[in-house]
Homo-oligomer: A and B are copies of this chain.
Amino acid sequence: MSANKQERGLTVLVLGADGYIGWPMAMHLSKLGHQVVAVDNLARRRWDREGGTYSLLPLRSMGRRVARWEAVSGRRIEWRRADLRNSEAVESLFQEFRPNAVIHFAEQRSAPFSMVDREHAVMTQVNNVVGTLNVLFAIRDQVPDCHLIKLGTMGEYGTPNIDIEEGYIDIEHNGRRDRLPFPKVPGSFYHLSKVHDSNNIYFATRAWGVRATDLNQGVVYGYQTDDTVLHPDLQTRFDFDSIWGTALNRFCVQAAVGQPLTVYGKGGQTRGFLDIRDTMACITLALENPAERGECRVFNQFTEQFSVLQLAELVARVRREHGLETTISHVPNPRVELEQHYYNAKHQLLLDLGLQPHLLGDTLLESVIQMVEKHAARIDHVLLARPSVSWKSGGNEVWDRYSSKDGGPRTAPVSRRPRRAAVV
């Protein structure tokens, strides 16, 4: 990339740039020549301290990351610590940078965390809804042409007994027709917060002519992009606990340490998945092919569907091929969800824009398991043992033991985990 291309690039606010996807996204867009402003309130690191969780891959501070990125790539990412609930901070960002686009990851994104108790449910919905409202008003009032690219989740839809369309469905009813938002049945206060956001964003496109792309993203896997591998300081998160980790990450960690893979309930729960490298590509496609003024474009952002049990069986098969027997254990499901259901979600629009998927293969699973083995000394096995949050009754005694509301040291000794290694 030439300096010339960087000069012609878009100015992009990446909100939530300290997160699992936010940080690789900031580097990816910087590499492509866009002027990237990385924004975060570092809430995710605070929630780790509160809940006794951490990234298996050590994370550097945002200051160190952007400095390393500049040293490695020759490109500068602006880093600003700001909380989207603070409307003055949001307005200042828009005034200072007048962005062409905003990529908004800056939300509490864990379903179990939102189900711990009343405080977590309220915090999740207020944090996510107010942050997004503040962004919408800043766009209206400061940079009306700005394109909002908002990360939603496939979980907004739930598991209907009909095909899931991309955002809207044509309904014929009593001899009349309309194209309406696809009915959503979200399964946690977190998922609900994303539905609230989607509804607010759709309204802002209709009332104010905002440009918006609402990405209903599937479950993202993988721990590496072309940029995170350039230096250990540039790594992104790898979560494996029951609050922040995905089932696939949990299975990889359980396989690496020789524990049974714990499937919640029957394991027929089916979802859409995608490689983190495809997330980079999808969001770049959305950015470089913006929505029209007044358009609320919805893309289902995933590449393949798997059930939880299929994922466990994939991991077990990969291990068996290396001569390592791995068992699958069905444990009581802490969630309220269907464990056997129809699931067929459309995901054509990003392919039409040019997405070329990386499908989930043995090589990636082996690479994840090898990475885990390399960091095995950092694994707190108690975090793998059983879920700490029930959908019906909230945080259980595992949650109580590991959580620390003031973010101070936990009372339970954890020999294997370097204290605060996650924050440098």
Q: Point out residues on A near B: beta carbons under 8 Å.
A: 87, 117-118, 121-122, 125-126, 129-130, 133-134, 137, 160-163, 169, 171-174, 176-178, 180-189, 192, 195-196, 199-200, 202-203, 206-208, 336, 342, 391-392
- Contacting pair B177 A161 (CB below 8 A): yes
A246 CB to nearest chain B CB (Å): 21
A172 CB to nearest chain B CB (Å): 8
A86 CB to nearest chain B CB (Å): 12
Identify which of B129, B189, B342 contacts A203 (C-beta below 8 A).
B189
- Contacting pair A181 B171 (CB below 8 A): no
A316 CB to nearest chain B CB (Å): 31
- Contacting pair A122 B133 (CB below 8 A): yes
Which chain B residues border A163 with CB–CB below 8 Å? 173-174, 176
- Contacting pair A336 B183 (CB below 8 A): no
A116 CB to nearest chain B CB (Å): 12
Given A162-B173, A162-B174 in contact, is the A199-B195 Cβ separation under 8 Å?
Answer: yes
Q: Apart from A122-B133, A126-B129, A133-B189, what are 6 other A-B pairs with CB-CB below 8 Å?
A: A87-B118, A125-B130, A171-B183, A183-B183, A192-B200, A196-B199
A211 CB to nearest chain B CB (Å): 16
- Contacting pair A178 B192 (CB below 8 A): no
Nearest-CB residue, chain B, relative to A115? B207
Which chain B residues border A200 with CB–CB below 8 Å? 125, 189, 192
Interface of A is mostly: mixed
Given A126-B130, A196-B196, A392-B207 in contact, is the A173-B183 Cβ separation under 8 Å?
Answer: no
Nearest-CB residue, chain B, relative to A168? B183
Which chain B residues border A130 with CB–CB below 8 Å? 122, 125-126
Cα distance, A187 to B207, chains bound together (Å) = 8
- Contacting pair A181 B180 (CB below 8 A): no
Given A183-B171, A200-B189, A207-B336 in contact, is the A137-B162 Cβ separation under 8 Å?
Answer: no
Nearest-CB residue, chain B, relative to A200? B192
Which chain B residues border A207 with CB–CB below 8 Å? 187, 336, 391-392
Cα distance, A174 to B161, chains bound together (Å) = 11
A157 CB to nearest chain B CB (Å): 10
Cα distance, A291 to B63, chains bound together (Å) = 55
- Contacting pair A185 B192 (CB below 8 A): no
Which chain B residues border A162 with CB–CB below 8 Å? 171-174, 176-178, 180
Given A122-B133, A122-B134, A183-B181 in contact, is the A203-B192 Cβ separation under 8 Å?
Answer: yes
Which chain B residues border A183 with CB–CB below 8 Å? 169, 171, 180-183
A186 CB to nearest chain B CB (Å): 7
Which chain B residues border A171 with CB–CB below 8 Å? 162, 169, 171, 183
Cα distance, A117 to B196, chains bound together (Å) = 19
- Contacting pair A129 B196 (CB below 8 A): yes
Cα distance, A208 to B115, chains bound together (Å) = 12
Which chain B residues border A199 with CB–CB below 8 Å? 184, 186, 192, 195-196
A287 CB to nearest chain B CB (Å): 26
A198 CB to nearest chain B CB (Å): 10
The 9 closest A-B pairs by CB, nearest first: A180-B183, A161-B178, A118-B137, A162-B173, A196-B196, A207-B336, A162-B176, A181-B183, A162-B178
Cα distance, A207 to B174, chains bound together (Å) = 32
- Contacting pair B203 A178 (CB below 8 A): no
Cα distance, A122 to B163, chains bound together (Å) = 34
Cα distance, A176 to B67, chains bound together (Å) = 54
Which chain B residues border A117 with CB–CB below 8 Å? 137
Cα distance, A130 to B160, chains bound together (Å) = 28
Cα distance, A200 to B195, chains bound together (Å) = 10
A-B contact pairs, 23 of them (CB 8 A): A87-B118, A87-B122, A118-B133, A121-B137, A122-B134, A125-B196, A125-B200, A126-B126, A161-B176, A161-B177, A161-B178, A162-B171, A162-B176, A162-B177, A163-B174, A171-B183, A181-B183, A181-B184, A188-B203, A189-B203, A195-B196, A195-B199, A207-B392
